[in-house]
Amino acid sequence: MIQVENLHKHYGAVHALDGLNMTVEAGTVYGFLGPNGAGKTTALRILTGLARPTSGRAAVAGVELVSDGRTLSRHIGYLPEELAFYPWMSPNEFLDYLGRLHGLKGSERTSRTRELLELVDLSDVGRRRIGGFSRGMRQRLGIAAALVHQPEVLLLDEPVSALDPSGRKEVLGLIENLSGQCTILMSSHILADVERVCNVVGIIARGRLITQSPREALLQRYAKPVFEAEGEDPASMQSWSDLLKGQSWVTALNLDGSTLRITVRDVARARKELLASAVAQGLVLKRYDETRPSLEDVFLQLVNNEVAQ
């Protein structure tokens, strides 16, 4: 649904994009991750037709970005990082106005407005002025506005970065509900949000993509599996730690009091042998966990490696 090949964008000596390549398959919720200044917003502006690349090729829903902007606009919906509304309008009026711009007829505009307000949970405030809305309400209305013409691709630039926890929960829940209805490219630097709603992750640094993978495959490939065990006796845990040092499938051990963190290279073997080893040592464990790999760990590892090169 989105194809980017060797995309460059230069602002004088600054290379905002430096040979970006990426592919977004239809129906995907794609998390476009990167630190501030990595080139995420520049890439989105090019994909919406709001900016021109210095060189390279990009296509959205089969439409080359050098094509007529009106053709492209029929296929995409865009939520910019900084939203702008007519504050004196109500959501009903605003969505109806956008429907007119997209060529929807009267009855179609009315039903589409009603449908969208229900989708973003703003039906009860459909006649209130937008100027009095909270940031979370405006973000949800912004998503509704991007969906008026039922686009094939929805582009979201940092959709929850400025929201409080309640607003973030509402907007992320909405994005989850949109999964399967259209292809979503969601730019963010908040890793927990991407981990929650995105099924494919692309990580950008210094204007180029350093990895792209289904979320779970990325975690399995890069994140180091860790097991934690908390015992009753620190001395016994120390003895167990000394024993585990000789195991080929153990890569690191960290004992903090009576809690032992065990990093392994072979998860299947660790699951089979760790508890058996503890029982053989006569340990009494108060807690034993296999911690889930963190997208944050993967992100920091890859970005730091890229910056160090």
Domain residues of the chain, as ranges?
Answer: 2-213, 224-292
31 has pLDDT over 90: yes
Rg over CA atoms, the chain: 24
According to the model, what pLDDT value does residue 293 have? 62
| Common-topology check for domains 2-213 and 224-292 | no
According to the model, what pLDDT value does residue 269 have? 92
41 has pLDDT over 70: yes
Domain 224-292 in CATH 3.30.70.600: yes
Fold of 2-213: Rossmann fold (3.40.50)
According to the model, what pLDDT value does residue 225 have? 76
Query: Edge-to-edge strands of the sheet including 2-11?
Result: 14-24, 2-11, 55-60, 63-64
Interval 230-256 mean pLDDT: 91
d(CA 30, CA 14): 27
Interval 114-127 mean pLDDT: 95
- Using an 8 Å Cβ cutoff, are 95 and 87 in contact? no
Helix (H, G, I), strand (E, B) or coil at 215: helix
d(CA 12, CA 16): 10
Q: Which of 7, 48, 4 is nearest to 22 (CA)?
A: 4
H or E segment and range at residue 11:
strand 2-11
Interval 275-286 mean pLDDT: 93
244 has pLDDT over 80: yes
According to the model, what pLDDT value does residue 66 have? 64
Helix (H, G, I), strand (E, B) or coil at 130: helix
Local confidence band at 309 (pLDDT 50, 70, 90 cut-offs): low
Cα 298 vs. chain centroid, distance in angstroms? 14
Interval 248-253 mean pLDDT: 88
Interval 128-137 mean pLDDT: 94
Most confident listed range (69-78, 122-131, 227-236, 283-292): 122-131
85 has pLDDT over 70: yes
| pLDDT (tens digit per residue) in 160-196 | 887 888 888 989 999 999 988 899 999 988 888 888 8
Q: Which of 225, 227, 222, 223 is nearest to 240 (CA)?
A: 227
List, as one string, the DSSP characters of 72-106: HHTTEEEE-SS----TTS-HHHHHHHHHHHTT--H
Local confidence band at 113 (pLDDT 50, 70, 90 cut-offs): very high
- Of residues 225 and 279, the one with the higher pLDDT is 279
According to the model, what pLDDT value does residue 67 have? 59
Local confidence band at 308 (pLDDT 50, 70, 90 cut-offs): low
Average pLDDT, rounded, for the chain: 90
Q: Which of 227, 291, 110, 243 is nearest to 118 (CA)?
A: 110
Interval 111-136 mean pLDDT: 95
d(CA 121, CA 133): 13
According to the model, what pLDDT value does residue 70 have? 72
Number of H helices, E strands in the chain: 11, 14
- Of residues 236 and 192, the one with the higher pLDDT is 236
According to the model, what pLDDT value does residue 15 have? 93
298 has pLDDT over 80: no
According to the model, what pLDDT value does residue 299 have? 78
306 has pLDDT over 80: no
Choice among 105-114, 155-164, 228-237, 296-305 with the minimum mean pLDDT? 296-305
Cα 276 vs. chain centroid, distance in angstroms? 39
4 has pLDDT over 80: yes
According to the model, what pLDDT value does residue 221 have? 77
